[in-house]
Amino acid sequence: PEGARDFIVPSRLQPGKFYALPQSPQQYKQLLMVAGFERYFQISRCFRDEDPRADRAYGEFTQLDLEMSFVTQEDILILVEELFADLVNEVFPEKTIAASPWPRIPHGQAKEKYGNDKPDVRKNKNDKDELAFAWIVDFPLFTQQTKKDYFYGSGAAQWAPSHHMFTAPHPDDLSLLTSDPGKVRGLQHDLVLNGYEIGGGSIRIHQPEIQEKVFDLIGFSEKQKREFSHMLTAFKYGVPPHGGVAPGIDRFLMAVLGEPSLREVIAFPMTAGGTTAVMEAPSEAEGQQLKELGLKVVK
């Protein structure tokens, strides 16, 4: 579980148990850092059962997933800037990157100045060849929990993570975890391009006591903590400071090409109702398949 609704898959060999399609490789890539793999990248397919919108297709997306040990937040930002500068120069030579280095805009300042946290900072918004990248930083680590929150929304706790529960608090704000969690900044970074969020990441928590504290603040039960026992156990053996980022390939292409919808840059996108364009899925399963999986459809 990562925060959105999972697509679950029943297990034939383990009756009554289910797999979940990966929402992101988050936990695996952090465990790789624990295991001593200091650099990781993957072009990963991710699946989330969440409602579509213009910049979010239903069900799936593709991201360039990066994780690194012994890096600072600034190391990550510089790496991504260099990567995308080279990419634009090689693949889209007609495009111009508006500024270098890219602006670092604190979250509060972005909300105050632009009214949102993914501002379009192009000098000429009518110039289809101008690319205005920017980093949004200094996010609050927590947001107010509501009963509508799917994964965290028991309503039993005041706080939910604004990014995910593995984002590290700013080192200057550690004391506030106890006294005033709402004022804690997270070491989170969002990448925006021409008014679209095209990626996000953070420095991760690598101290087990801080991870436990965050779990407590977001109201995790002992049962929920056990679902992440593999992480907490690994942390006890020593974890290098690490962090990462995952730019969305689909959203990057949408923004660079000036397309109005993410569906325009995805082959065979699903409809807003969650059906495939040509294969007429989802479809009903045969009775024998349901029996084999120990499932019964209740209408």
Q: Looking at the domain assignment, is residue 73 inside a domain?
A: yes
Q: Residue 42's domain is classified under what CATH number?
A: 3.30.930.10
What are the pLDDT digits (tens) for 275-291? Answer: 987 888 999 999 999 99
**pLDDT tens sequence across 200-243:** 999 999 998 999 999 999 888 888 888 888 888 888 888 999 99
pLDDT the model gives residue 1? 43
Give the model confidence (pLDDT) of 69-117 as tens digits.
999 999 999 999 999 999 999 999 999 999 999 999 999 999 999 999 9
Residue 2 within a domain: no
The model carries a pTM of 0.90
Task: Please tell me the predicted confidence (pLDDT) of residue 158.
Answer: 82
C-alpha 112/C-alpha 201 separation (Å) is 22
The Cα 296–Cα 18 span in angstroms is 15
Q: Dihedrals φ, ψ of 109, to 5°?
A: -65, -40
Closest by CA to 57, choosing from 287, 238, 265, 294, is 265
Above 90 in pLDDT, residue 272?
Answer: no
In a domain, 36, yes or no: yes
Confidence band, pLDDT 50/70/90 cuts, at residue 3 = low
Domain extent for 32 = 8-293
Number of domains in the chain: 1
Cβ atoms within 10 Å of 228's Cβ, excluding its own: 16
Question: Does residue 298 form part of some domain?
Answer: no
pLDDT computed for residue 113 by the predictor: 96
Within-domain flag for 1: no
Asked if the structure places residue 3 within a domain, the reply is no
Digit-coded pLDDT (tens) for 107-140: 999 999 999 999 999 999 999 999 999 999 999 9
Q: Does the pLDDT at position 150 exceed 80?
A: no
